[in-house]
Amino acid sequence: MKKFGQMKIMQMSFMIIGVFFFFVLVGLFFLVIMFKDVRGGADELSREEAISSLEIIAGMPELSYGDRESMSLDEDKLRVMVEGYGESYGEFWPIASLEVYKVYPAFDSIVPCPSANCNYYGVYDSGQGNVEKFSSYVSICKRMKEFGSVYDRCEIGKLVVGVDHLEVAIR
Whether this model's pTM surpasses 0.75: no
Contact 151, 144 (CB under 8 A): yes
**Bigger pLDDT: 62 vs 21:** 21
Chain center to CA of 22: 42
pLDDT of 165 > 70? The answer is: no
Domain residues for the domain of 75 are 40-170
Residue 134 lies in a domain: yes
> Which runs of consecutive H residues, i.e. helices, occur in the chain?
2-58, 75-80, 166-170
Residue 6 lies in a domain: no
Residue 112 lies in a domain: yes
Cα separation values, 56 from 50, 53, 94, 159, Å: 10, 5, 11, 12
Residue 18 lies in a domain: no
Residue 24 lies in a domain: no
Residue 126 lies in a domain: yes
Among 16-25, 80-89, 153-162, name the one with the lowest average pLDDT: 80-89
Q: What is the pLDDT of residue 1?
A: 61
pLDDT band at 14 (very low <50, low <70, confident <90, very high): very high
Q: What are phi and psi of 32, to 5 degrees?
A: -65, -45
Residue 120 lies in a domain: yes
pLDDT of 16 > 90? The answer is: yes
Residue 83 lies in a domain: yes
Section 127-154 average pLDDT:
87
Please give the tally of structural domains in the chain: 1
